[in-house]
Amino acid sequence: DCKTASASKDSKRMKKQPKTLTPEKRMVDGYYFDSYSYTDIHETMLRDRHRTLAYQNFMFNNPQLFKDKVVMDVGCGTGVLSIFAAKCGAKHVIAVDMADIAKQAKLIVQRNGFADRITVIQDKLENIRQLPHGLTHVDVIVSEWMGYCLLYESMLSSVIFARNTWMKAQPADIAAGLRQCRIFPNQARLFMAGFDYDAMESEFWRDCYGIDMSVMYKRPAPTSNPLIISVDSDFIRTQHTCFKSLDMHTVMDQDLDFTEKFDLIATHDDAVIDALVIWFDCLFENNCND
């Protein structure tokens, strides 16, 4: 968070030994990190231009937030965000990833001429006891931590750990009562709306490239399992509501397991609602007070 920690607390925290993991936890972690060791998943993310350009445009349009700063890239993958930070003038970038993709990231960093300003560490972030090159803290954290439905299989807990362990508050900001954003993206919001899934699916088969294939359609059975699909906004039947907002500078691990009340207001008197759609957005702001 943005509170200043004493040197004695920092030293105790740095010397703290990692928790002993159960075999079950090791297996889950192993599966998770192994899934990010292959090229395909990183190619998919890099080909998502909306995602990658959101980071690039914000960073390149706000280079003063990174210039001469020590930056940590949590879950660096191929190192694309680390290189963006270096191009913005970062003093040094610490890129961390447990998956084997870190090996490729090191080669990419070298090939692009940033080996002297980007250090790639292949390890679980929570295992790092000391930063490289005698560094004692980081000024900025960047991460593409979002998972399915924002929080499923996300790395937000690692971002929180990095913030609490390695980020130092700026005395000038504290004295002025300001809170300069230094974790990007700095805010995430979850939204929900009701929609008519049955109507959306049946409409597809009624006019499939100009052909009536409605005989192919089978009404979906009720399920409690989430579907990862594109939703046609024409079939949204309620106003949307933001039911959870997370500030990266203040959120804690316990905030990630939550129950929220919400209201959905129908937009049609005869609306049929047979499913809920959830989506999220992430904000990049250069001043948390704005």
Cα separation, 185 vs 286, whole angstroms: 10
* 153 is a catalytic site residue: yes
Name the residue among 224, 286, 267, 76 with its Cα closest to residue 162: 76
Cα separation, 105 vs 103, whole angstroms: 5
Task: Please say whether the dihedral angle defined by the alpha carbons of residues 147, 72, 186 and 9, taken in this order, is positive or negative.
Answer: positive
Within 10 angstroms of residue 123's Cβ, the number of other Cβ atoms is: 12
* 203 is a catalytic site residue: no
DSSP 69-124: -EEEEET-TTSHHHHHHHHTT-SEEEEE-SSTHHHHHHHHHHHTT-TTTEEEE-S-
| Token couple for 272 | 């049929």
Contacts of 103 (CB under 8 A, 6+ apart): 122
Contacts of 172 (CB under 8 A, 6+ apart): none
Catalytic residue among 43, 144, 260, 285: 144
Catalytic residue among 126, 153, 201, 285: 153
Helix (H, G, I), strand (E, B) or coil at 265: coil
Catalytic residue numbers, as ranges: 144, 153
